[in-house]
Amino acid sequence: MSYQQLTEGKRYQIAALIAQGLRPSEVARIIHVHRSTIYRELRRNRLEKQYDPARAHALTQQRRRSSAKYRVPQDTIDFVDLTLSLEWSPEQISGVSHQVGMPVSHEWIYQYIAADKARGGKFYKRLRQGRKRYRKGVNSKRSVIPNPRSIEDRPAVVETRERFGDWEVDTVLGKHGTGALVTLAERKSRMYLVKRVDAKRAADVRVAVIEMLKPYATQVHTITADNGSEFVEHEKIAEELGAEFFFAHPYSSWERGLNENFNGLLRQYIPKGVDMRTISDEFVLWVERRLNLRPRKCLGFKQPEAVFRELVQAA
């Protein structure tokens, strides 16, 4: 549905429909606007739970006259509202806005979020919050990994990200004893794959990695992991996929920075300490796709899913 600025007549329609007890989403469908337009209109212009269309229109006109930013078109503001609801960052929104002909700076978006918060809005909660990264303790016990190959032996082309098919792998733990997530990130496309396992056992991790990468086996050249015991069956993974398996230096998470970054984003939806038994496979897939549909600055604000699909077809 195309975005449009509300007219005074539309506001009287909104008031009449709200008075009949209709929900904002139903009002939006009837007057042919996006539901976010109705929610925003009520949030901005309803006073003491009452919506007066004449007053609402007057308030809108006053804001436009008094604000130095009133020249930002309403369809651009609607676009910002929609993408904030999808948890895109201001920089991601700004990058895509220029591509779709509704340019707005990320500085303006931050100011817009701050103003929304001052009015009691909730957009600020959509911003990514800094989280402490999990770091395996220095004294933690590790199983001896058979025949490990160091990241120092990894082909130089992997570091440059010029080649499609070089992956990073990791695990994300839930509440103790409730399971884990196996995560994979492809370095060139920034595609991210996630699969839930019942436990962080080497056999479970091996099966999960093979299941996720088997459909793209011809595009799997290398896999890089940390030194966790869950990767002791790396040779079986490499053999099944026809790939080379490498290990980063101990306590050097930056050597698998892409996967670490994605795992941080994953925590927005699946917080640390959550009982993995309460997380369905369908929800995991939903989170995976939501992250892969976020535009990435390093990809020219393209979506990892689209870039990955193009590279698979071209391979």
Q: Please give the backbone phi and psi of residue 247, each rounded to the nearest 5 degrees, phi first.
A: -120, 135
End-to-end CA distance of the chain: 36
From 121, 56, 33, 41, select the one nearest 85 (Cα to Cα).
121
pTM of the complete model? 0.61
From 127, 83, 95, select the one nearest 265 (Cα to Cα).
127
In this prediction, residue 65 carries a pLDDT of: 61
By CB atoms closer than 10 A (0-12, 13-18, 19+), residue 45 is: buried
Distance CA 122, CA 236 (A): 48
In this prediction, residue 67 carries a pLDDT of: 56
Contact 175, 272 (CB under 8 A): no
Q: 207-242, pLDDT tens digit by residue? A: 999 999 999 988 899 999 999 999 999 999 999 999
In this prediction, residue 140 carries a pLDDT of: 41
At which residue do the structure tokens 């056992």 appear? 201
Q: 104-121, pLDDT tens digit by residue? A: 888 889 888 888 888 888
In this prediction, residue 36 carries a pLDDT of: 87
Give the three-state DSSP class for 169.
strand
3 state SS for 34-78: CHHHHHHHHHHHCECCECCHHHHHHHHHHHHHHCCCCCCCHHHHH
Write out residues in the chain with pLDDT < 70, as ranges.
1-4, 64-71, 128-143
In this prediction, residue 134 carries a pLDDT of: 38
